[in-house]
């Protein structure tokens, strides 16, 4: 018999991944809060740092705007806009500079047609469909005993896993670009750069956590489908 959602594979695979993901979220919030208190000696704000990263890479035409909320910073390739939360945009802290430089790294990726970023953008429609329909189709297939419907749901969920997997090199590369500019352009002192790296490393763990949850759930779904054969 199958148990949804508290079967043994959920407890062994999915639950630990969820715990890791939650821990990663707490860690990035803690790191950001800690290094938001460390002021940048040069007095640069997050918005200033983003402009410096763009300038250093010869990227033009990118808007930098404020965004509401906390840790809502992101780059929107549709409008070629970097949106920085208030605690990043106008704050001269090491955490703000690190986060803003990272988002500017995404803008540089976009300008250079960085392959993993292009791939991620291409699969977003399939990912959106998969995230909305996969579990309802799987549950409906189990209820109606329709293996084909379960398989379709699993395939759609696979798109979510692929998206999370492709996201990792995109995020890691953006952080590497950010740290390189912070070092080479002397935006931060040698003593401040390690703190910015810690913020970016903590943020990277949230993407690892998201992939771990998706991958664990995918393995579990495959096992469920196999049991029904």
Closest CA to 182 of 107, 100, 113: 100
- Exposed, middle or buried: residue 201 (CB in 10 Å: 0-12, 13-18, 19+)? middle
Find the catalytic residue in 52, 65, 103, 112. Answer: 103
Distance CA 11, CA 107 (A): 40
Peptide bond into 135 cis (omega under 30): no
1, 23, 102, 135 from 140: Cα distances, Å: 16, 32, 41, 8
Given its phi and psi angles, is residue 113 left (phi above 0), alpha (psi -120 to 50 degrees) or beta?
A: left
Burial class of 7 by CB neighbour count within 10 A (0 to 12, 13 to 18, 19+): middle
Residue 103 annotated among the catalytic residues of the structure: yes
- Indicate the angle between helix axes 147-184 and 193-227, nearest 10 degrees: 170
What distance in Å separates the CA atoms of residue 199 and residue 133, rounded to the nearest whole number?
34
Cα–Cα dist 53/127, whole Å: 30
Catalytic residue annotation: 103
């Amino acid at each position: 018999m199958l148990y949804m959602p508290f079967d043994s594979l959920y407890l062994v695979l999915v639950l630990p991944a969820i715990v890791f993901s939650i821990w990663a979220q707490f860690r990035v919030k803690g790191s950001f809060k800690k290094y938001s208190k460390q002021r940048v000696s040069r007095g640069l704000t997050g918005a200033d740092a983003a402009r410096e990263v763009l300038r250093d890479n010869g990227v033009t035409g990118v808007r930098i705007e404020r965004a509401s909320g906390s840790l809502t910073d992101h780059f929107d390739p549709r409008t070629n806009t970097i949106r920085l939360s208030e605690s990043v945009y106008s704050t001269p802290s090491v955490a703000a500079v690190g986060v803003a430089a990272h988002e500017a790294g995404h803008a540089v990726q976009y300008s250079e047609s960085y392959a993993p970023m292009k791939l991620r953008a291409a699969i977003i429609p399939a990912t959106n469909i998969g995230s909305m329909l996969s579990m309802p189709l799987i549950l409906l297939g189990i209820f109606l005993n329709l293996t084909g419907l379960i398989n379709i749901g699993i395939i759609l969920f696979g798109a979510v896993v692929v998206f999370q997997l492709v996201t990792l090199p995109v995020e890691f590369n953006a952080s590497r670009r950010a740290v390189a500019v912070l070092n080479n352009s002397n935006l931060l002192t040698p003593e401040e750069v390690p703190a910015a790296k810690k913020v970016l490393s903590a943020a990277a763990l949230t993407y690892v956590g998201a992939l771990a949850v998706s991958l664990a759930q995918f393995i579990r779904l495959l096992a469920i489908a196999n049991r029904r054969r």
